[in-house]
Structure 1
Amino acid sequence: MAHRNFKKEDFVKNQSGEFQLEFQEGNIGEGVDLIVERKNENGEYEVLQAEIKRHNKLIMIRWSEPFDGRILFDE
């Protein structure tokens, strides 16, 4: 699986108070098999069940707080 790393600074607070990260659909595949992982204090990744939504060819990941992590996807 391919992956794309992101930093907590990449998140933007939305109108409902959640933090949101956006990807273009073409940059991370179609979004069928997306896995969101958060990097912990030991530098290891743990899987999250983050809310993932689509809108206008964007894939949005939402969480209650920003975090460093990565998204895994099929190429």
Structure 2
Amino acid sequence: MAHKNFRKEDFAKIEGSDLYQVEFRKGEIGEGSNLVVERQTQNDEYENLQAEIRRHNDRIFICWSEPFNGRVIFDE
């Protein structure tokens, strides 16, 4: 399993919503059928989240109520 890290600063506020999103291209993480989103804790460990995942054209968006440091795990 491969992963791609992201930071709080990578998130953007969704206009007209209370959510934030981080964006990936399909080429970076695949089609997105087996994505796992994890948030980094204060202990530098990771916990699974059931984040909303949206797809549009060749983009994949991970949405959450606040920005966080984390990673997305995917099949290569």
Q: TM-score range with shorter-chain normalisation? A: over 0.9
If the length of structure 2 is used for normalisation, what is the TM-score? Answer: 0.96
RMSD: 0.5
Aligned positions of 1:1-40 closer than 5 A: 1-15=1-15, 16-40=17-41
SS in 1 for 2:9: helix
Q: Distance in 1 between matches of 2:44 and 2:35?
A: 21
Q: Distance in 2 between matches of 1:10 and 1:60?
A: 11
If the length of structure 1 is used for normalisation, what is the TM-score? Answer: 0.97
SS in 2 for 1:65: coil
CA shift at 1:26, angstroms? 1.0
Q: Distance in 2 between matches of 1:4 and 1:27?
A: 8
Percent identity (aligned): 63
The one-letter code matched in structure 2 to 1:30 is: E
Runs of 4+ in 1 over 6 A off after TM superposition: none
Structure 1: tracts of 5 or more residues without a match: none
The one-letter code matched in structure 1 to 2:40 is: K
The one-letter code matched in structure 2 to 1:3 is: H
**Residues paired across the two proteins, number:** 75
CA shift at 1:17, angstroms? 2.5
CA displacement, residues 32-70 of structure 1 (integer Å, 9 cap, x when unaligned): 100000000000000000000100110000000000000
